[in-house]
Structure 1
Amino acid sequence: MESKWLAMVLVVLSLGSGLCDGCLEEERFALFQLKPFFEFIDYKFELDLIYYDYLVDEIKESSSNCCEWERVECNPISGRVTHLFLNHSSYKKIHWYLNASLFLPFEEIQNIYLSGNSIAGCVVNQGFERLSLKLDKLENLDLSENHFNHSILASLSELSSLKSLNLAYNIFTGLNPTNGKSIKLYMMQSLSKFKVVLTLFLILLLIDIEMLSKLKNLETLDLSGNSLRNNILSQLDGFASLKSLRLEYCGLKGTLDIQGMFPF
């Protein structure tokens, strides 16, 4: 009988030994490389202070184990980072460029949330296409409420494992990106020249949007809050796995016929 209990204890101990007691050192180092851009990545926020009827954020430094940080979630067995919640965590930078290769050490990452960080694009040759080399488990990427434009779409099209892509409230547009004064100047100088420039831009935009159709696993796409106009619909008929499409506040007008355009 004692031998039976001893065997059970050994089994429990062997299972427990597989559990990780902290994040991997290389991933912890990578997180601190992200800290200059996302200031509060290693802090914990608690809404437990009340002054004059207002809730006040209390910022507390977390432990050395990055898996216990509020903005980080890890696989409890491997200790590898699986989720990064970096929303609204870059308060000191405006219109800055992200080095996406900083995420490469997180080989089991499934979700990256970068909403509301005033990111204008990626560093040259360090875009999201770099992540396709190693991050084949990345399923959800949230880039909403930043300053990305159509130039980012080519690099995003390489993330073949993506199932959800949120691009809401950026500066994608179906119009010529030049400002109003430039447009008026073009029209005053040469109306025909303006038409050529506008047509070429719309063709380039069409190619860029269609690049995202390379994401064969993409099920959710959010383009809300971008000035896309009705012509966006003709650019979205190549998304084979799409189940959810959001286009709120995109300037769409009139009656829209989408029958047969999408698989959902």
Structure 2
Amino acid sequence: MESKWLAMVLVVLSLGSGLCDGCLEEERFALFQLKPFFEFIDYKFELDLIYYDYLVDEIKESSSNCCEWERVECNPISGRVTHLFLNHSSYKKIHWYLNASLFLPFEEIQNIYLSGNSIAGCVVNQGFERLSLKLDKLENLDLSENHFNHSILASLSELSSLKSLNLAYNIFTGLNPTNDIEMLSKLKNLETLDLSGNSLRNNILSQLDGFASLKSLRLEYCGLKGTLDIQGMFPF
């Protein structure tokens, strides 16, 4: 009986190794590496978020357990980060470039929300293609309300696990039918694509016929004109 209890204790200790106040130490370190770019990653908001140049009511620092942070969600068993809610958390920066490789330590991440951070692109050789090396559980990426242009699409096309991609209200304009949106057709698991609020041309539809799993497409406020014949064009 004693040996059985000892084995159970050893299992618990092994599961807890590397944890720092409820979250993996390496992931907690990675979150603080992100903090210079997303200032409020470890804060708790009493009322609502930030809107542009002012704060709404009181802000409190969260606990040292990163799994309890309002902008972080973890797997309760492994303690690994599964969701990052970094929307509107870089309000002081304008047209800056993201080092996407900073997300690499989060090997169980499923959802990354980066909406409304004025990101203009990625650091050279540190784009979203780097995430394909380890983040094979990433299903939802929200890049809406930033300043990305069509040059980001090649790196996004490497994220084969994606099911939902939100690119609404960026600065995609015109789009070359052979080199741009068509690149995303490599995302064979992609079910939801939001391109709303970008200045696109009617030929955008011809670039989408290679999307094997697409079920939902949003093109509001894209400046499309005339009659659009989509019968038989899409799998949905």
| Fold shared, TM-score > 0.5 on shorter chain | yes
Report the Cα distance in structure 2 between the residues aligned to 1:13 and 1:221, rounded to whole angstroms. 43
For the 8 Å contact 1:48–1:58, the answer to whether it is kept is: no
Report the Cα distance in structure 2 between the residues aligned to 1:155 and 1:62, rounded to whole angstroms. 34
Q: Deviations over 1:15-35 (max 9, x none)?
A: 999999601000000000000
Report the Cα distance in structure 2 between the residues aligned to 1:241 and 1:53, rounded to whole angstroms. 40
For the 8 Å contact 1:39–1:89, the answer to whether it is kept is: yes
The alignment yields a C-alpha RMSD, in angstroms, of 4.7
Gaps of 5+ in 1: 180-207
Gaps of 5+ in 2: none
1:260 is paired with a residue whose SS is coil
| 1:19 to 1:258, Cα distance in 2 relative to 1, 3 A | same
| 1:71 to 1:3, Cα distance in 2 relative to 1, 3 A | closer
| 1:53 to 1:232, Cα distance in 2 relative to 1, 3 A | closer
Task: After the TM superposition, list the runs of 4 or more consecutive aligned residues in structure 1 that deviate by more than 2 angstroms.
Answer: 1-21, 48-57, 175-179
Q: How far does residue 4 in structure 1 lie from its aligned partner after superposition?
A: 15
Q: How far does residue 121 in structure 1 lie from its aligned partner after superposition?
A: 0.2
Report the Cα distance in structure 2 between the residues aligned to 1:46 and 1:25, rounded to whole angstroms. 27
| 1:92 to 1:259, Cα distance in 2 relative to 1, 3 A | same
Q: How far does residue 56 in structure 1 lie from its aligned partner after superposition?
A: 3.9
2:49 is paired with a residue whose SS is strand
| 1:87 to 1:4, Cα distance in 2 relative to 1, 3 A | closer
For the 8 Å contact 2:111–2:138, the answer to whether it is kept is: yes
| 1:66 to 1:92, Cα distance in 2 relative to 1, 3 A | same
2:102 is paired with a residue whose SS is helix
For the 8 Å contact 2:142–2:165, the answer to whether it is kept is: yes
Q: How far does residue 50 in structure 1 lie from its aligned partner after superposition?
A: 16
**Bigger share in helix:** 1
Aligned length in residues:
236
2:214 is paired with a residue whose SS is coil
For the 8 Å contact 2:21–2:64, the answer to whether it is kept is: no
Q: How far does residue 91 in structure 1 lie from its aligned partner after superposition?
A: 1.1
For the 8 Å contact 1:222–1:247, the answer to whether it is kept is: yes
- Higher mean alpha-carbon deviation, 227-236 vs 163-172, is at 227-236
| 1:160 to 1:6, Cα distance in 2 relative to 1, 3 A | closer
Report the Cα distance in structure 1 between the residues aligned to 2:158 and 2:5, rounded to whole angstroms. 53
| 1:235 to 1:9, Cα distance in 2 relative to 1, 3 A | closer
- Higher mean alpha-carbon deviation, 252-261 vs 217-226, is at 252-261
| 1:256 to 1:76, Cα distance in 2 relative to 1, 3 A | same
Report the Cα distance in structure 2 between the residues aligned to 1:54 and 1:123, rounded to whole angstroms. 28
Q: Deviations over 1:191-217 (max 9, x none)?
A: xxxxxxxxxxxxxxxxx2111000000
Report the Cα distance in structure 1 between the residues aligned to 2:212 and 2:201, rounded to whole angstroms. 22
Tell which structure's C-alpha radius of gyration is larger.
Answer: 1
